[in-house]
Structure 1
Amino acid sequence: MKTDKVASNGPGALWNRWIASIDIRSYTMIFALIGIWVLFSFMSDFFLTSRNLSNLFVQMSVTAVLAIGMLLVIVAGHIDLSVGSIVGLTGGLAAILQVWAKWPTWSVVIVTILAGVLIGLIQGWWVAYRSVPAFIVTLGGMMAFRGILTGITKGQTVAPMQESFRTIGQSYLPQGVGLFLGIVIAAALLYGLWNARRSRIKYGFEVGSPLIDTGKAVFFIALTFIFIFLMSSYKGVPFPFLLVIIFAVIFTFLANKTTFGRHIYAIGGNNEAARLSGINIKRRTLMVFVLSATMASIAGIMQVARLNAATISSGTMYELDAIAACVIGGTSLMGGRGKISGVIIGALVMASLDNGMSIMNVESFWQQITKGAILVLAVWIDIYSQNRKKSGKVA
């Protein structure tokens, strides 16, 4: 018996438990992202410069914000095809209020976000309380909102925005603030590690090797400070990317630490079981569409602030980028599974492909073909992994 106990705690057993605990899909996407960066760095010396990486993180911010909002919709078993048109409509509304009506920035931001909430309530009501498929409701919204945008702007480009508004999409954090942010993130990672281990010990769950857990924390802390160093060597951490981090933290807490988040995953995992357990599915469905449209309105503000203008083509096809970022990041289109961290990685993959191929002067149609092929591949990997799990359970 002693021999068996030693064997179960030996190096081989620890290694096997570590391998089993790894989220293969997430790490595959991280390695894929690194591979993309290495490939483009060989093709162009400009790709890994601080300036280009800063532009890359600014470019991915809108997609990341959209994808964060989209995540809960997909996890709940639905889809939102209207977010790109909501970006255009709410961005156009913000520009009209500021440029034509001369409203101050703070009131423009509040009204624009409230417009997103209203859109989410309307679409969510049709899906949740009138049982119209989300695909149809949001497809109709995609066309209707684009038409409304053309109507209220009269087909014109609305510009320029006030300087205070432009800071939302064009400003950078001072170096000292960026360093402080890195310290805060490092402290949060270490606290999260300690708190997770303490909780597992408290409730009698198996705890992984402290050396491995510490190694993971050190790895991500090192990445954080490398990122801050690279950004500081140009202009500093971009403010739009700071917003992405803030929303990622909020939605991670919402998804993992609240009853609402657990209900959304339960609904997507098994709708009937969720209903029988007493979950108010209609109310939860309404809320995920409100959150998605609200995040789309925030993305619309960021987009207009970065470009200093609102156009009728703003946000076109953004819904596909958001869906692709979710799927590439490991979110299952079947519902019930997905992580915010994976969404951020997926958005980075999409933005890196756009950025790298633009630097290489690859024609736009090849960029679309490449992104489409990667999306199909990501969905196939998801289906393949799920089938393997099912076959393993059967076996």
Structure 2
Amino acid sequence: MAKSSDPVFPKPRLVSTTQDLADSLARLRHERFLTIDTEFMRERTYWPELCLVQIGGEQDVLLIDALADGLDLTPLAELMADDAVLKVFHAARQDLEIFLYLFDALPTPVFDTQVAAMVAGYGDQVGYDSLVGSLTGHSIDKSHRFTDWSARPLTPAQLTYAAGDVTWLRLVYERLVKKLEQEKRLEWVSAELADPATFRADPEKQWERLRARTNNRRMLGILRAVAAFREREAQRVNVPRQRLLKDESLLEIAATVPATVDDLTRVRGVTRGLAEGRTGLGLLEAVKTAQALPDSELPRLPKGRSKDAPRPSPALMALLKVLLTTCCEDHDVAPKLVASMDDLEALALDPTVPNPVLSGWRKRIFGDSALALRNGEIALAVKKGRVTLTPSESPSSQS
């Protein structure tokens, strides 16, 4: 039974025809903001299979059946591109990736309540249910989180669950914005997910994530070639890259340089069927092409990954990590949003190199202090059980 204090949300409505979709979304185009979520399946495919789109307005909650026969999602694409309507997501990355894949453009403008929650002091990557509880005092049902959204018909319980992902989000958004405006932090919630390249895997760069432990540029060239081929092949047949061929197999191919089908079958994880088929022949051709590359076209390990690359002082890194935690405690913001480990390493090695922590609000709450610490102008101290910043008694010049 609902409590008298429970908010009253609009009754969700399932949309499964193009005309209904166009009419329903037309009514929402006047809204100041809409809350949006998606349900999809991806366990067995490379590309996400969109099953349901939830949209919450002030008076409407639409559940769009993306798998309905004959449904044309063009009206949804037009809404996603409408600059006059703010689209509010929680943990938007996967949702944005889906819309980019479907419509070849990212929704705009976008507000991510997970990023906003990190700015507002709710910790790193706070979950939606936790955030709803913190901001509204209510708990929400997450029992259908791992349900099969591709099965039809959808049950009433599934539809109720799906609606809750956008109805409560309206309250979360409004209360987060109010808090951030009071604290003058709304500008901190920047559009960090606005670059389509963030969501599109570049086949030619996939080798970098495999963490090869070698400086042998020929081997790296082969690894780059076979990793790029696997990425394109996984996209073509629409299967997850690791299901097509595991990373370990690619590393072994780069190390052993197979030239024949028989050679390829000796690689762990490569079956005779795969080696003799289109995928295997493509891998062998990629190896052959990489073998023929001139030395000048071979890759090097990314900067910082080479055994010969300069390493920051472990002691300086430790100090910067403590400083980051201290500054973020003082400002009640999640450290992960302020600086990554790569940012800290770059700052430790060379503070003159462009760095996200040395611009905008990050510079104000951490970057300036980090430079001062590095220059010996401030020191870390402990007062009443907390780490604090204190002027250095003997400032030194930057080393």
Q: Same fold (TM over 0.5)?
A: no
After TM superposition, the score normalised by the length of structure 1 is: 0.20
Point out the structure with the larger helix share.
1
- Indicate the structure with greater strand content: 2
- Report 1 or 2 for greater relative contact order, CA contacts < 8 Å, sequence distance ≥ 6: 1
Which one has a bigger Cα radius of gyration?
A: 2
